[in-house]
Structure 1
Amino acid sequence: MKLSFPEALTTSILLATATSVSAEPAKFEVDEEHFSMSFEIMHIGYAPVMGMFRDIEGQFEYNEETGELNSGKLVFKASSVFTNHDKRDDHLRKPDFLDASKYPEITFVVSDFEKTGDNTGVVTGDLTLLGQTRPVDVNVTLNKAAEYPIGHEDYTLGISAEAVINRSDWGMTYGLENGLVGDEVRLRFGFEAIKDSGWF
């Protein structure tokens, strides 16, 4: 059936509007109950010490249709560092390392995102540590996107991510000169993010 010009124009406008609406980004809140963040760093060359931060919060805006990550931020409480050794954890909170009393928060703010596959990409962001900000690339994998089967039953993303940084880039140099503590830090993340259905 051939449409008249007014009908065709109206149809085009409706289709454009529908596409625009469907392409809107959604806000996702990191589920604090399902967020794991670990780090590894060599100790005197013998073996890596493994630890984590136990107090984390975050959110981001993501468009599933276009694959665009518009914004995002993660906040780690420096004092929540945990390596399963009280004396070492106390030292990590001191000025030699995290200086948690002066810099209580470690933040990562998304600045760019590049898709590398159907469910993979590289997130570039600004990591602020010890009052200094440096760019970091994080490799991310979208493991699953679906309605949650239990509990809240909201639409949820499951994500894995990893990155490698040199702590000296942020001025954390304790133990480097005598080889007591390595410079390279391996970071791994695994978390679930819940779609905010009330945000548009």
Structure 2
Amino acid sequence: MAAALSLAIGSNAALAEPKSYKIDDNHFSVTFEVDHLGYASVIGMFLEGKGQFEYDAEAKDVTSGKVVFQSASVFSNHEKRDEHLRKDDFLHADRYPEITFEVTNFETTGDNTGKLTGDLTMLGQTHPVTLDVTLNKAAEYPISHEEYTLGLSASTTIQRSDWGMDYALDPLMVGDDVHLRFEFEAIEDNGWL
């Protein structure tokens, strides 16, 4: 889902050909939200992930990209629930240790917004997913590495049952809709990353 960075619309004219970007591990969050019995939503995240993408600023296009996060890194601030989420009722982390998103298309919708479509693979199944993406900022980083950096937000809603994750749907205890949100910074890869 990180490949969403393709949004550098209005970035920098100096980026006239495809450039490689790598998601900054220190500024990368993947969160999920699911209804529980209608009382409240459970909010969690994946603590381990990485990604990279190719972005052509002149064409305003993401030519490729991939994000991978580790199923076993799921965290919802409740140890027993997290253990259950890693088992075969949900993520089956032993058998499917990685969840991946690979970019297939990008469509500009505004000055700093777009729709990023890709294949989401989870539990051994692959289905297309479209994320709404916003480019928050594109500039040289003011501190630390001082490299050209994109800051992006992306979100989508999927139905977990599409991937065969149907535990607690009948009777309904855990919602089918899973709201996903990605917040990250991506650094232009000049060979030092």
TM-score normalised per structure 2: 0.91
1:98 aligned partner? 91
2:58 aligned partner? 65
2:9 aligned partner? none
Larger radius of gyration: 1
Asked if the contact 1:60–1:73 (Cα under 8 Å) also holds between the matched residues in 2, the reply is yes
Match of 2:20 among 14, 19, 27: 27
Mapped to 2, the partners of 1:164 and 1:66 lie a distance apart of 28
State the identity as a percent. Answer: 63
2:105 aligned partner? 112
What do the CA deviations read for 1:128-181 (whole angstroms, capped 9, x no partner)? 000000000000001100000111111000000000000000000000001110
Aligned length: 179
The code of the aligned residue for 1:146 comes to A
1:173 aligned partner? 166
Match of 2:78 among 75, 85, 89: 85
Q: Structure 1 118/57 Cα, relative in aligned 2: closer, same or farther at 3 Å?
A: same
Asked if the contact 2:121–2:127 (Cα under 8 Å) also holds between the matched residues in 1, the reply is yes
Asked if the contact 2:49–2:68 (Cα under 8 Å) also holds between the matched residues in 1, the reply is yes
Asked if the contact 2:66–2:103 (Cα under 8 Å) also holds between the matched residues in 1, the reply is yes
1:16 aligned partner? none
1:121 aligned partner? 114
Mapped to 2, the partners of 1:132 and 1:106 lie a distance apart of 10
Structure ranking higher on relative contact order (CA contacts 8 Å, 6+ apart): 2
Q: Judging by fraction of residues, say which structure has more helix.
A: 1
The code of the aligned residue for 1:62 comes to Y
The code of the aligned residue for 1:163 comes to T
Task: Please show how residues 173-192 of structure 1 align to structure 2 within 5 Å.
Answer: 173-192=166-185
What is the RMSD computed on CA atoms of the aligned residues? 1.2
1:144 aligned partner? 137
Mapped to 2, the partners of 1:24 and 1:149 lie a distance apart of 24
What do the CA deviations read for 1:49-78 (whole angstroms, capped 9, x no partner)? 000000000000001122010000000100
Asked if the contact 2:15–2:56 (Cα under 8 Å) also holds between the matched residues in 1, the reply is no
1:36 aligned partner? 29
The code of the aligned residue for 1:117 comes to G
Mapped to 2, the partners of 1:53 and 1:79 lie a distance apart of 8
1:54 aligned partner? 47
The code of the aligned residue for 2:182 comes to F
The code of the aligned residue for 1:183 comes to D
Mapped to 2, the partners of 1:50 and 1:86 lie a distance apart of 14
Asked if the contact 1:45–1:179 (Cα under 8 Å) also holds between the matched residues in 2, the reply is no
Q: Structure 1 22/119 Cα, relative in aligned 2: closer, same or farther at 3 Å?
A: closer
**1:117 is paired with a residue of what secondary structure?**
coil
Mapped to 2, the partners of 1:128 and 1:186 lie a distance apart of 16
The code of the aligned residue for 1:112 comes to N
